[in-house]
Structure 1
C-alpha cells in the first residue's frame, strides 16, 4: 500500500525469518492515522526511494536502510550467482542437502552476522517489530533494552560429573529466559529476545554459549572428559567471563607488572646481490629484544594483549584455575617509554645489529634502571655472557708542529682497554672481544659512526715506542666537527682555529705587481688562498662560471713571485684555455714571466722552466711528457677545469699525481659532475690522504651516501672538505657584481677546421688583392664582405659553408662544455648567433643529449610560447635565438648568462642582444661570454673595431660603413 510523504509517517524496522538465510531485517515506512498511531498503510523503503521520505529520516536511518538492503536475498547472492539464476533458485541449490555448497553457506552467514551485529548496535532509539506471517511489518513490537545484561556461568563439580549452566541478570535482577520461547537474533555478539524484549550483553558474550540453554536447564560433563573440557573450554570462560565454581577453585592474581627486556640472538645471514649470489661479506649478528611482564611467578610477552591469562593446575583429584589480571595500561607505559628510546617492542619482538643493540643499551642503561626495567640475557646467546655495563671512550687531540697528536682512553666498566686494539677492530668492522672476566664486550655502534673516519685517518708515528697515533693537519675539520659534537677535546692554535670560520681569515694586501682591482668576494678568495699557502694546504677554488677564478689565481701567483722568487709554478688546463690565460696574465700580472709549453715543436727540457715564473701547459702534454715533467720541482701545480681528473683511474689523473711541487691548487666550476668519486680524485690531488684511500673512501662515504642516502655521512664528508673548497654561487655574490660582466672566451680551431679556414682565406686573399690592383672595380667591397662572412662562418663551424664537412669545431666544443657547466649549476642561458645554421648545429647536439631548450628564429610562428617556456619552465635552461629574430621585442629576465657565438660588426646590436636579458625586471646579475676563435678574422675584426672606435669616437653601425672604413693595410691584415 502506497504511503504518502505529504502526510504523517514513521520509519520502522522489522525482523522476519527467511527460508534459507535465517533472521533478516527489513525497513518500512508506515502511515500514521489521525491520532498519530501506526496504520496498516505501509511500504518497503530502500536506498532508492528513501530520499522521498527525507523529512522523517535521520543520518542513522539512511545507514540502517542501506545495511538492510545489503542483507536481502538479491544483494546476498549477487556476488556468488555467476550463472545468473533467480535468487530463490540459487539459494535452493546452495542449501539443498543434495547440491549444497558449505563454503558459500559459511561466507553468506559471516556476511549476514556482520550486518546483524552492525544493525542491532545502531537501533537504539528506533522502533523494532516482529513481522507477522501475513507480512504485516508491525505485528509485534520488540522493546530494545537500554542497559546491557550480565551472564554468570555456573560450574558444579561432584563425584560423578560437572553441571554447567548460565544465569542472566538485568539491572541486578535475575532474568527468567529459559523455556520462554526466547530466540537469538545474532550470535557474535549475542542479542537475545525474551518476552518481546531485546537484550545485549556485557563482555560481548557469544550467543553459542547461550543457545543450548534456551530449552535446557544445564549440561552434564562426565568425569572421563572432565580434564579435557576444563582445559579447552572452562579456561576460556574463566578468562573472559564471570564464573561461579563449586568443586574446584579459581585463584585470582593481581600484581603490578615488572618489566623485563629479554635479550636473545639471531645469527647474521650471508649477503646476496641482485641476482641472489652470496657475497663473502656476512650481515652482522642481531640481538633480539623481547619485552615481557612478570606477575609474581607468571610471565607474559608484551605482544599477548589479553586482559588476563588463565592457567589450569591439577593437584591430584583437585583443580585450581589461576587467573592473572594484567594491568595493560601500566604495561603500555613501559612499551611507550621504550619506543621513545628507539625500541618499539610493544607489539612484537625487535631486533638490532649487535653493535647497535649494545650501543643502545650503553646509551640508555641508566634510564632503564630508573624506570625499573630489567635486562635479562637468555640462555640462547650461543653460550656467551655479554657485558651490559657502561662503555666509555674519551679522545684528546693536540696540535703539534706538522700534525695532531691523538690520545684516547677506552673503558668497559672497570676494565681499561688499549686504544690501538679498539682502533684496529673498528677499522676491520669487528665489534666483539673478551674482557678479563670472560664477558664479551661489544663495541657500541655509535663509536663506529662517530669515530670510524677519524680512526681510519690516524697514522702510527715513526720512531715512537708507545704506539702513539697522529692525525695530519689537513684533517682539522674532522677534529673540529667531533669537538663540536662533544666527542673529543681539541687544542688548537688561535691562527688555525680561524680556518673553521672563513670570515675570520685575515685580510692580506694585494701584491703591488698585481695590475687590477678585485671585487670584494674575489678579495676574500685571494685571502683564503693566501691562508692555505701559509699552512701548506691544497685548495679547490670552485666559484661559479664567470666569477673570476682566473684573476684570483693570478693575484696569488703575483704574491708567490714576491715570496718565492726563482720558483716556477705550473698551470695545467684544456688546450682551448691556454690563450685566455696568456691574455689575462698579460693584463693583470704583466710582471710574471710566462712560458707556454705546448705544441709539437716544444723543447722537452725542463731546465728552461727555471727562467720563468709560470709555465702554461695542457692535460694532453702532461699525459705525454710526465716522465720529463715529474723531474722538475714546482712551486705550485694548478689544475684549471680540474674535473678532467675526476676519474682516479684515468691516465691523466695518475700523471698529474706524479708531479712534484710544494703546493697544489685546483680550479673548477663543477667539482662533482657524475658522483662522489669525482670529489675523492680532486681532493686527493690537492691534499693527499684527506679522504683516505679509494677503498676506504668507498666504504666510509661513497656507498653510504650514494646507495643508502646517508645524510650524516654526507654531512661528515662536507665537514672534511669544507676548509679546502671555496665555492661562491653567482646568486651569493650578486651584490658584489656589477649589472653586467663581459668575458671574452677564446677558442682554438681544431686541425681540420684550421685546414678548411686556411684554404678559404688563401682563395679570397688572392682574389681581393687581384681586384684591388684593377682601378675602378666596384665589387671589391662585395667580394671582401663575402670572403669575410665565409671565414667567420668557418671560425664558428666549417659545416656552415660545407655541408659535407664531418669533423669538429673548437668553438662548438667550448660552447658545449660551458653549456653543461651552466646547466649543471642550474643557470639559464641565452645563446645568440647571426647564423641560423650555427644555431641548428647547437640544436642538433641538444636534441642528441635530450636537453630541453627554447628556440627562436625568423620562421618561428609562436614567439611568445617560446619566451614563456624559457621564462617559466624550470627544466628549460637554454634559449637559442637568431640575432635578427631576437634582437628586439623580447623580455627574457630569467636568463643569467648570455653566450654570443660570433662577434658582430655593430657593437650596438650586440648590446641590444645582451639587453634581452639585462633589462627592467631582471633580478639576476648577467654574465656575458663572447666566443672568439683565435687566429681568425673574428679576433682581427674585434681588434679593428676597438682601434677604429677609439680613433674616430664613432660607432661602426653597419657592415657597409665598416667596409668603407677599412684601408688597404686593414684588409691585408684581416686576410693575413
Structure 2
C-alpha cells in the first residue's frame, strides 16, 4: 500500500501523522532502493502492513482520512479516492449453485415456483458461481475493485475484510487464506456450468475438497447441509501380530511367503501387546477418517452433506492420552508424526475402552462395537426368608441382565457380550456398584440373594440407585425397620425399682422393637449412660410378658468381663429385685449347673464361657447378652467363637465402643447378633476396600440394629454429676494372698483383743486394716516382690481408661497410696499413654496442672489424695476414678470437686473401685451403722476407734 508518491521527510509531518507512522512502521521500513534502512534516517518510502495488523492500522488510517486508493497509479497518479473502513462482519467466499432460470413444463419459471412455495424440479443445467456473501448480501466476484490475497476487499470507496479461514483467523506465518485458491480458480475460469445429472456428483466431489469453502445448496438440489458435533470413533485391531523384524521373540517357520513379502520368512503369529487403532468421526451417520483431508463428507443416498468441525476433532484427539492411547512408535522408538493412529496396551484395553466410552467415543475392536453403559434398573423380589436382586443394564438400546455382568466381573473383565454381538463396557462406577452387592450376597441362578436379616444392608446398597423397584413385602419390612431408627419411649415396667431418664425410656422402646422384629441389636451408648439399667428394665418387662403369655420359662445368659459380675448383681438387686440372679463363675459354679434353668439371669464371664461352651450350647436361652461386647471384636478369638455357638430367642450386645479401630470390627459383633447380616468376614473386608462410600453403606445397614447416644446428645437429660461404684473381683492369686493375710490378722487380733482388750489393741487393728486395704489394691503394696502380680483394680482401671481415653475424655485417677500410683505409672508407660503426675513431693504443681488443662495430648492425671484433695482446678477432666476411696464423704467430695466445680461445662462421672469380699466391702456395710467409725478407720484417725467392739473387728476380718 503506497503512502505517497515519493520520499517524505518525517520532520514535515505533524504530531498525529508521526504517531500514526510510528505504529505503521513496526518491524520494517523500506527505502527507495528497496533495502531495509534504519528508522533513524527519518525517511520512509513505503510501509509493509502485515495481514495480522491490517484491520487495526488501516482502520486507523481510514478514520483520520489518510488512506486513499490510486485507481490508475501509472496513467493518472494524481487521481486518489479516499477509502472508508467497513467495520462490519467479514465477507465470506461462498460457492453458490444456481439453476438456469428456464420455464417449467407449464410455462412457470423456477423463480416463480419458488415464490409460490411449489416443489421445484431439478433444472436441466446449473451454474456453480463464486460469490461474496455477508448475511443476506450477495456480491459477484467482479463487483470489488480488487480482492487482495492478504484478505482485504477494496470496493468502490471502502475497504472491507474477507474471512480467511473457517475459524476466522489468519493462517500461521502469514500464509495465504484457504479461499485464495478458489478466488484464483474463478478469476481464471469464471462460473462453471453443469448439467442437471452432474449435480449429485459435483456435490460429492466438493465435500472431498480439503479447503471446502462455504457452500449454498438450494432446495431444488434435494440436498441439505447439516451441522453438529462429531462423535469420535476408535477402531482397534486385535488380530494377531506378525513379527518381521527378526527380534528375539520371532519364531520362524520353514517355508516362505508369497507376493510382496515372498522374501520374508513367515513367523508364527502372537497376540499383540499393543492394539493399533484408527480414529474416525461420525457426522450424522457419515464416517470420516481423521487423517482424511476432506473438508466435509457427503452421503449421496440421503443427499446429506456435513462440514467437518476441525476444532472439535482436534479437541477429541488431544484427550486420547488421558485414556491410555498413545501415538504409535517407529522402529527407532520415536513417536510417529501422525496423530490419527494410536496404540493401546492390551492390558489396558478394558479400562481404556471404558473411559473412552464414558467420554463419548464409539469404540470397535476387530469389528465388534463396544457400547457404553446407560441406565441400570434394579428390582427386588421377596421370598419366604430371602430377598432376590436382579438388574437390567441398558447399553445403547441393547439390554444385559445381571448374570452376564456377574460372570464378566468374576473373570476380571470390564466388558460383557451383548445379544447383538457387540460388547457392553462396564465403567468403573458401575462395577463399583455391582461388585459390593455381589460381595455381600449369595448367587442363585445368576441373581443375588440376600437373607431376610440382610434387608437393611440391601436397602443401604440400593439407597444410591435412582432406578430401583421393590415389592410390597420388602417395602413393608423397610417401613418396620425405619421405626427402629426413631424409637418410641416406653415407661418403666411394673416391678422395676427406679426411674429411667427420657433417653433410657427410648432405649427400652428400641429393645422392644428388636424383640418384635426378632432381631439382635447393639446398645452402644456412651459409657456412664446406664446401658445396664435399660437392659434390667427390659428383663423385668420381659418376665411379666412371658408370664402373662404362658410362654415356657427360659433363663437369660449375661456374659461380662470378670470385673463387672458383681456390678450386675448389685444393680439387679437394686433395680430388679424380682429377678433371680445366678453368679455362674468360679469353681463353685460346677455344682450349680442344674440350677441354671431355675434362675432368670445367669451371669458368667467370657473366660468361663470358653470352658463351659460344650454344656451351654445345649441350653436354649431366652436372651444372650454380651456386656463390653468389644471383647469379641476379634472374630477368630475363642471367646467370639463360643458366643456364636450359643442358642437364644434374642441376642443383645452392650458396648460403649462398637468400633475401636476400624468398622470391620463390627462384623464379629453382628455375626453374633444376626448371623449372616454382613456376609462373610472376607467379603466384608473386600467390600470395605471401597473406601468411605463402602463404610457409609455398612453404617447405614446396621443403623436399625445399633442404638448409640453420646453424652453430648443427652446432655440436658443428665445430672451434673454421676457417681457409681465399680466392684472388682480379686483374681485367684490375689485372693489367695489376701485371704492368707486376713486369716493371719484375724487370729492375731482375736488373741490380742482377748488378752489386752480392744482399747489397747487399736494400733494393731489400724495396721491390719491398712495392710488388707493395700493388698486389696495390689499385693505389691505390701510385698514389693509382687509388684508384677495381677490386680483386679488395676485391670479394671485399664479397661476403663481404654474406653474413655479413646472417646477423647480427660481423666483424673486418685489414690491415697503413692506406691499404687507408681505401679499404675509403670503400666501406662508400657502402653505409651501420656499422663501427668502429682503427689506431695511435687514442686512444680502449677505447670503440671496447666499442661493437663491445656494440652490436648495429655488426657490423664494421676493424683495422690493427700496432695490433690485441695487447691487444684482440674476442670478439663470429666471422668474421675478413686482407686481406694476415702469413706469420709467430705474427703471424697473434695477429690471429685477438683473437676466438678465452677468452669466445668460437661457432666462429671465419678467411679469408686471396691474390691469384692474384702475389708473395703465390710466398711461399706458398716457405713450406715457406724459412719464415724468407718471414716476413722480409713483416715487412720484413732479418735473414734475407741467405739470399736470385738464384734466389729470380727466382721471386718471375717
The reply to whether TM is greater than 0.5 is yes
CA displacement at 1:174 relative to structure 2: 7.2
CA displacement at 1:626 relative to structure 2: 1.6
The answer to whether residue 827 in structure 2 is matched with residue 841 in structure 1 is no
The TM-score, its normalising length taken from structure 1, stands at: 0.64
The answer to whether residue 368 in structure 2 is matched with residue 385 in structure 1 is yes
Q: Do the aligned partners of 1:830 and 1:897 also contact (CA within 8 Å) in 2?
A: yes
Residue matched to 1:636: 623
Residue matched to 1:529: 511
The answer to whether residue 636 in structure 2 is matched with residue 672 in structure 1 is no
Write the distance in 2 (CA, Å) between the matches of 1:882 and 1:287.
77
CA displacement at 1:403 relative to structure 2: 4.0
CA displacement at 1:418 relative to structure 2: 4.4
Aligned equivalent of 2:842, options 860, 869, 873: 860
User: Could you say what secondary structure the match of 2:608 adopts?
Assistant: helix
Residue matched to 1:453: 436
The answer to whether residue 950 in structure 2 is matched with residue 968 in structure 1 is yes
CA displacement at 1:528 relative to structure 2: 1.0
Deviates further, 661-670 or 446-455: 446-455
User: Could you say what secondary structure the match of 2:368 adopts?
Assistant: coil
CA displacement at 1:503 relative to structure 2: 5.6
Aligned equivalent of 1:242, options 165, 169, 174: 174
CA displacement at 1:539 relative to structure 2: 0.7
Q: Deviations over 1:424-462 (max 9, x none)?
A: 54566543332222111233433332343334444468x
Deviates further, 287-296 or 432-441: 287-296
Residue matched to 1:691: 678
CA distance 1:850–1:523, change in 2 (3 Å): same
Structure-to-structure mapping, 1:622-771, within 5 angstroms: 622-701=609-688, 703-704=689-690, 710-771=691-752
Write the distance in 1 (CA, Å) between the matches of 2:450 and 2:498.
43
Write the distance in 1 (CA, Å) between the matches of 2:937 and 2:677.
56
Write the distance in 2 (CA, Å) between the matches of 1:902 and 1:748.
14
Q: Return 5+ residue gaps in structure 2 as ranges.
A: 1-18, 54-169, 183-208, 214-226, 239-272, 296-306, 328-338, 548-552
CA distance 1:941–1:606, change in 2 (3 Å): closer
User: Could you say what secondary structure the match of 2:538 adopts?
Assistant: helix
Residue matched to 1:439: 422
User: Could you say what secondary structure the match of 2:930 adopts?
Assistant: helix
Write the distance in 2 (CA, Å) between the matches of 1:588 and 1:855.
38
Residue matched to 1:922: 904
Q: Return 5+ residue gaps in structure 1 as ranges.
A: 1-142, 151-167, 183-191, 206-237, 268-284, 302-308, 312-323, 369-374, 705-709
Write the distance in 2 (CA, Å) between the matches of 1:257 and 1:194.
56
Write the distance in 2 (CA, Å) between the matches of 1:483 and 1:451.
13
Q: Do the aligned partners of 1:647 and 1:681 also contact (CA within 8 Å) in 2?
A: yes
Deviates further, 931-940 or 594-603: 594-603
Write the distance in 2 (CA, Å) between the matches of 1:967 and 1:286.
99
Write the distance in 1 (CA, Å) between the matches of 2:277 and 2:509.
56
Residue matched to 1:610: 597
Aligned equivalent of 2:879, options 891, 897, 900: 897
Residue matched to 2:560: 573
Deviates further, 751-760 or 383-392: 383-392
Aligned equivalent of 1:479, options 424, 446, 459: 459
Deviates further, 563-572 or 925-934: 563-572
CA displacement at 1:574 relative to structure 2: 1.7
Residue matched to 1:394: 377
Aligned equivalent of 1:831, options 813, 824, 828: 813
Write the distance in 2 (CA, Å) between the matches of 1:785 and 1:177.
125
CA distance 1:195–1:592, change in 2 (3 Å): same
CA distance 1:443–1:252, change in 2 (3 Å): closer
**Larger RCO of the pair (alpha carbons < 8 Å, separation 6+):** 2
Residue matched to 2:494: 512
User: Could you say what secondary structure the match of 2:369 adopts?
Assistant: coil
The answer to whether residue 549 in structure 2 is matched with residue 554 in structure 1 is no
Q: Do the aligned partners of 2:926 and 2:934 also contact (CA within 8 Å) in 1?
A: no
Residue matched to 2:587: 600
Write the distance in 2 (CA, Å) between the matches of 1:926 and 1:939.
25
Write the distance in 2 (CA, Å) between the matches of 1:853 and 1:175.
95
User: Could you say what secondary structure the match of 1:241 adopts?
Assistant: helix
Write the distance in 1 (CA, Å) between the matches of 2:628 and 2:683.
26
Deviates further, 581-590 or 777-786: 777-786
Write the distance in 2 (CA, Å) between the matches of 1:261 and 1:647.
54
Aligned equivalent of 1:877, options 846, 859, 877: 859
Residue matched to 1:772: 753
User: Could you say what secondary structure the match of 2:842 adopts?
Assistant: coil
Structure-to-structure mapping, 1:404-443, within 5 angstroms: 404-426=387-409, 429-443=412-426
CA distance 1:883–1:953, change in 2 (3 Å): closer
Residue matched to 2:102: none
CA distance 1:389–1:760, change in 2 (3 Å): closer
CA distance 1:872–1:454, change in 2 (3 Å): same
Q: Do the aligned partners of 2:441 and 2:448 also contact (CA within 8 Å) in 1?
A: no
User: Could you say what secondary structure the match of 1:895 adopts?
Assistant: coil
Cα root mean square deviation, aligned:
4.6
Q: Do the aligned partners of 2:405 and 2:416 also contact (CA within 8 Å) in 1?
A: no
CA displacement at 1:939 relative to structure 2: 1.4
CA displacement at 1:517 relative to structure 2: 1.4
Write the distance in 2 (CA, Å) between the matches of 1:853 and 1:533.
44
CA displacement at 1:803 relative to structure 2: 1.1
Structure-to-structure mapping, 1:150-549, within 5 angstroms: 169=28, 178=35, 240-243=172-175, 253=211, 259-263=230-234, 299=290, 375-377=361-363, 381=365, 383=366, 385-388=368-371, 391-397=374-380, 402-426=385-409, 429-459=412-442, 469=449, 471-480=451-460, 482-483=462-463, 485-490=465-470, 491=472, 492=474, 496-500=478-482, 502=484, 504-549=486-531
Write the distance in 1 (CA, Å) between the matches of 2:929 and 2:838.
34
Write the distance in 2 (CA, Å) between the matches of 1:918 and 1:728.
22
Write the distance in 2 (CA, Å) between the matches of 1:175 and 1:855.
100
The TM-score, its normalising length taken from structure 2, stands at: 0.66
Write the distance in 2 (CA, Å) between the matches of 1:848 and 1:637.
35
The answer to whether residue 571 in structure 2 is matched with residue 584 in structure 1 is yes
Q: Deviations over 1:300-330 (max 9, x none)?
A: 89xxxxxxx999xxxxxxxxxxxx99976x7
Write the distance in 2 (CA, Å) between the matches of 1:679 and 1:804.
42
CA displacement at 1:974 relative to structure 2: 0.7
CA distance 1:882–1:444, change in 2 (3 Å): same
Q: Do the aligned partners of 1:854 and 1:878 also contact (CA within 8 Å) in 2?
A: yes
Q: Do the aligned partners of 1:203 and 1:240 also contact (CA within 8 Å) in 2?
A: no
User: Could you say what secondary structure the match of 2:661 adopts?
Assistant: coil
CA displacement at 1:377 relative to structure 2: 2.5
CA distance 1:526–1:453, change in 2 (3 Å): farther
Residue matched to 1:315: none
Write the distance in 2 (CA, Å) between the matches of 1:610 and 1:333.
79
CA distance 1:177–1:606, change in 2 (3 Å): farther
Deviates further, 536-545 or 595-604: 595-604
CA distance 1:241–1:174, change in 2 (3 Å): farther
User: Could you say what secondary structure the match of 2:577 adopts?
Assistant: coil
Flag the structure with larger Rg.
Answer: 2
CA distance 1:466–1:682, change in 2 (3 Å): closer
CA distance 1:964–1:604, change in 2 (3 Å): closer
